Structure 1
């Protein structure tokens, strides 16, 4: 019973610290410091910390310690750009272009965009930030024959905005979402440990019935959770094979 009371005291102390003293990314007191402060066993401290880790309030980083976790953002399934999403959340978006060129598509990309033989695509790969934190590695494929000079002299800051101006406003789309283990390249770009969890979203966007944009996005799993509204079942929409 005494240990239960002390466990609750440690738990409450840490939760209160999140609200009054510590910010996301700050290191919390060590197990030894908490043991000394509350006069409890290390097992009790580990239980309280472990429960907060399981709840997503704390995160352990091997070899460094335990830190206040960043709040996870809802990854909502709607036709908006990354920048629009971040601004709606009160965050400042930014972008670093990693690669941009006109090229021949792979067979799967050509099929997904309904391209004919020898039709090219614009390939744009970007690292997306929110409040200076890397959040997503995004690769976009667009049909070049429909969008002349789209990346000349440089890619537009907002792809969806440019599509709107050219009369190809994305009106609907389809997402395929997977959980992934981030490889060395994506881990480095997103500034997370090798093998960290991530979310992979493959999206095909349509302007009316024209497939206009194919995007592959790797999100860091420690900053996102998937939010999906549900409703009564209705007839399944099937607009062809997914990308």
Structure 2
């Protein structure tokens, strides 16, 4: 196994057996800003942001990772509702970082990726204001809870996409895990998230071109973790971003 592979395995094991407190984000600070993590160095999804994948060796590894994805035809959306994936941002899941730490998943992710985070008075969980370096556009969003929809937490692999690619046959517990797994979650510009909707990489990619390889790697990591296939068109589009 490569040095990167050993490090990734160790990091994953440490995260899954941690107490999943706010200190387990693995984020580092440089010059007052959180250091963004490239997805190949962030297999558990506990470090913030989405750093570009630029090194030739890393892009080759990204292509190998995406190459492992199974392909399948997209099924019907019939029967899909958000509630099929559990209560919105529930903390009552098992087997993913931050689970059962007493905070809603959305707040965990805002705390992971936000800078200058402020909490509701008397709360260790509820984020009321922060600055977000939006990974999809590159803009800095000065967010407060008064404008809640300005920042939305994107499911990198959309829930409706998961449903159409086989999650309809999963247990409710597995659907709740993928809906609350930080590997699959990214706080982003709300308008951009709404434009994405339930689309796969063949039809939607982040406006910021330099993170597109990183985005599709994250998409592939989630799909591989949960045994989820992608469409042939999506796999081709993903490979094209990292070659």
Please tell me the TM-score bracket, short chain as reference: under 0.3
- Structure having the higher helix fraction is 2
* Structure with higher strand content: 1
TM-score of the superposition, structure 1-length normalised? 0.26
**Highest CA radius of gyration, 1 or 2?**
1
